[in-house]
Amino acid sequence: MVNILIVDDEHIERKALKQILERNMTGICIVGEAENGRKAIHLAQELQPDLVMMDIQMPGTDGLAAIREIRALQPQMQFIIVSAYDTFEYARQALRMDVSDYLLKPSKTDTIVETVQHVVKRIEQQKFEQEMRSREKLQLQKLAPIVEADLVTQLLFDHVHDIHLAEMMHCFGIESFQRAFVLVVFLIPKKAEEEESRCQTEATYRKVRQLFSQQETGWVGAMSGKQIPIIVCSDPGASYRSQVSSLVRKIINLCSRSDSAFDCFIGVGGEYETLEEVAKSYREAMLASIDLTLPSRHCLHEDWADRRQQDSAAALQMEEQILEQLRRGNGDEVMHLMGALIDHYEAAGASIAETQQKVLGITLLLARVLAEMGVQLETPYFSLQAGHYSQLKMEARLCIGQLMKPVAKMKTTMTPDLFQSLKQYIITNSHKNITLETTAAYVKLSPYYVSKLFKEQSGTNYIDFLTECRVRNAKKLMADPEKSLKEIALDVGFQDPNYFSRVFKRSCDQSPTDYRRALLSNR
C-alpha cells in the first residue's frame, strides 16, 4: 500500500484529485489533506506518507518551501507538483529538489492516473528492495557467528582467496586491514572435580563473543575443546602490547566474575602484516600456552621466547615444526621431530628431568591443538619418570602414538564415498546459506577436517568448491532472458549481486553481462 497526502489551498481541487485517484487506482490510500504548506509539513511528519501531491501557490508557506523543509527531515519521501503555473523557474526549482513529476492544472484524468501510477510503481519497487535488504541484513545477522567461525577456521588452517576474504571483511564492517594477531582463550573449570555442563561452556563462549564484538575488530572462531581462537585486527591508534593488555584484562575479568564457571588462560601470538600470516600467529599463541598455570593467566609468544633464552633457536624452531606437522596430520614426522628435539637437549647437556618436563609440556600442547581441530582424546601423560634418554624417547613415542590414534581413525573415515557424499550435499544445497560448520555437521566431522579433506581430495578448498557450484548454476539460469542477473545471483545463493559479479568474472574471465550476451546471441 502506498500512502498519499494531498496538498492544495482549494478544497474542491483536493476533493476532485482524491476522487480521481480512489476511483481509478488500487494499492493506494489517501491518508490526509492539507490546505497550506505549513500544515503539509506537520502532516508529513505525523502521517509519514510515501507520496505528496503538492500545489505550489498557497498562502503562507508555499509548496516549494514545504518540499524543501520536508525533504530535510524525510529525504526518501516522493513528490508530484500539481500547479496551474507553467513557468520555467518553478520547473527549474522542482528539478533541483528531485521532484518525481509535474502535473499542470487542469489535467485529464488519464494523464493524472498515468503520472501517479508511474511514481507509485517506483515507490513500490523501492519498498520491495528495502524489504529485501532488511531480510538479507537479518539473515546475515543470524548467520554472522557461523560465517565468522568458518572464516577463522579457514584462515588458521587453510587459505581464503582474496576476493572471498574482501567480501567477508565487508560483511563484518571491516573496510581495510593493516596488521593482525591471534589469541587463544583456554577455558579452565573452576572446580576441577566437576564436569562443567555444555550450557555453561556455551554461555561463557557467548559472553566472550559479545565482549569482543562490542569493543574490538576481528573475528571469533568456533570453540573446540574449551578453546576459543580469536583473530584480532590491530588498532592503528594503539601499540600491540597495549591492545593485548587491554583485551586480555577484559577477558580475564569476565571469567573472574562470581557467576562464571571458568577461569581462563590466554596465549597471544605475534603481530603480522597480512592475514595470510595469522596461521603463524596462531601457532605462536599455542606455544605461548604451554604452561597454563602461570600466575599472570596469559603469555605473549615473544615473552615466552625471552624466558627460554637458554634454549637454542634450533630447539624453538623444532617445536614450531612439530606443531606445523601436527596441523598437517603427519604423525610420523611429529614423532621424528620429537625424537630429534630430545636428542638436541641430550647433546646440550640438559638433565633428564628437565627434558622430560619440556617434552610433556609440548605433548600437552599437541593435545590442545588436536582438541582445537575437533579431535576427541584423553589428556596425555607419561607413565613413569624416565631414568635415561632412550627411555624418555620411548615414552614420548608411546604418548604421541596415543595422541595420533584418533587422528588416524578420523583419516580412515575419509573414504572416497564420504567425499562424494560431501560434494553431493554441497551441490544439492549450494543455493542455501550453507557454511563449513553446517556441512561438517552433515558428515559428522570437524570443520577443520572437512577443509582438510577438500584440500587432499580435490586440491581446492570448501569456499572455492561452493562458489564453483553457484557459478555453474548461474550459467544455467542465464539462458532464461526473463530473469535479471540480480534474481539469478540470489537464486543460486549469493546475497550480494556485486559480490556475485566479481566472483563470476574471476571464475570465467568475463562479467556475467558479457557471458549472458554471448550465450543468448549464440542461440
Query: Which CATH number goes with the domain that contains 113?
Result: 3.40.50.2300
404 contact partners, CB below 8 Å, separation of at least 6: 331, 334
The confidence band for 264, taking pLDDT boundaries of 50, 70 and 90, is very high
- Average pLDDT, stretch 445-454? 75
Mean pLDDT over residues 197-220, rounded? 82
What is the model's pLDDT at position 176? 59
Which residue did the predictor score with more confidence, 92 or 224?
A: 224
The mean pLDDT of 510-516, rounded to a whole number, is 91
Are residues 98 and 7 part of one domain?
yes
Identify the CATH number of the domain in which residue 505 sits: 1.10.10.60
Average pLDDT, the chain: 83
Domain span holding position 466: 415-522
What pLDDT sits at residue 168?
Answer: 61
- C-alpha 471: how far from chain center: 21
**What is the percent of the chain where pLDDT is above 70?**
86
pLDDT of residue 233: 87
Contacts of 244-250 with CB under 8 Å at 24 or more apart are: 244/181, 244/183, 244/268, 244/300, 247/183, 247/212, 247/215, 247/216, 248/183, 248/298, 250/211, 250/215
Look at residue 50 and tell me if it is in a domain.
Answer: yes
- Rounded to the nearest 5 degrees, what angle is found at the Cα of 507, between the Cα atoms of 505 and 511? 20
Distance of CA 113 to the CA centre of its chain: 47
Q: Comparing 104 with 338, which gets the higher pLDDT?
A: 338
Q: What is the percentage of the chain residues whose pLDDT exceeds 90?
A: 26
In a domain, 75, yes or no: yes
Q: Is residue 167 part of a domain?
A: no
pLDDT at 247: 93
Greater confidence (378 vs 512) lies with: 512
Q: What is the radius of gyration, based on Cα positions, of the chain?
A: 32
Between strands 180-189 and 28-34, the pairing is: unpaired
**What is the reported pLDDT for 500?**
87
pLDDT at 256 over 90: no
How far apart, in Å, do the first and last CA atoms of the chain sit? 41
In the predicted model, what is the mean pLDDT of residues 502-520?
A: 88
pLDDT at 194 (0 to 100): 47
Residues 366 and 423 reside in one and the same domain: no
For residue 185, the model assigns a pLDDT of: 94
Query: For residue range 309-340, what is the model confidence (pLDDT) as tens digits?
Result: 666 778 888 888 888 888 777 888 999 999 99
Predicted confidence (pLDDT) at residue 228 exceeds the cutoff of 70:
yes
Asked if the model's pLDDT at residue 357 lies above 90, the reply is no
Mean pLDDT of the 385-404 span: 85
Give the pLDDT score at 162: 54
On the question of pLDDT at 417 being above 80, the answer is: no
Q: In terms of domains, do 381 and 437 share one?
A: no
**243 and 323 together in one domain:** no
Distance, in Å, from the CA atom of 363 to the CA atom of 382, rounded to the nearest integer, reads: 10
- Please check whether residues 8 and 113 belong to one and the same domain: yes
Residue 385 sits in the same domain as residue 281 = no
CA distance 73 to 66: 11
Which region among 309-313, 447-451, 478-482 has the lowest average model confidence (pLDDT)? 309-313
pTM of the model: 0.57
Residue 141 lies in a domain: no
pLDDT in tens, 41-72: 999 999 999 999 989 888 888 888 898 899 88
Higher pLDDT, 374 or 502: 502
Q: For residue 138, with 0-12 CB atoms within 10 Å meaning exposed, 13-18 middle and 19 or more buried, which class applies?
A: exposed
Contacts (Cβ under 8 Å, ≥6 apart) of 136: 495
389-411 mean pLDDT:
82
Q: Is residue 21 part of a domain?
A: yes
Residue 289 included in any domain: yes
Q: Which residue has the higher pLDDT, 489 or 417?
A: 489
Q: 152 in a domain, yes or no?
A: no
* pLDDT at position 193 over 50: no
Per-residue model confidence (pLDDT) at position 161: 54
Query: Do 378 and 426 fall into the same domain?
Result: no
What pLDDT, on a 0 to 100 scale, did the predictor assign at position 472?
A: 92
Those residues whose C-beta lies under 8 Å from the C-beta of residue 9, and which sit 6 or more positions away, are 35, 36, 55, 57, 58, 59
In a domain, 324, yes or no: yes
Residue 457 · residue 419 · CB < 8 Å: yes
pLDDT for 115-142, tens place per residue? 999 999 999 998 888 887 776 666 555 5
Higher pLDDT among residues 495 and 302, named by residue: 302
Q: Which three cell numbers stand for residue 474?
A: 548461474
Preceding peptide of 406 cis, ω within 30°: no
pLDDT surpasses 90 at 4: yes
- The reported pLDDT for the residue numbered 86 is 65
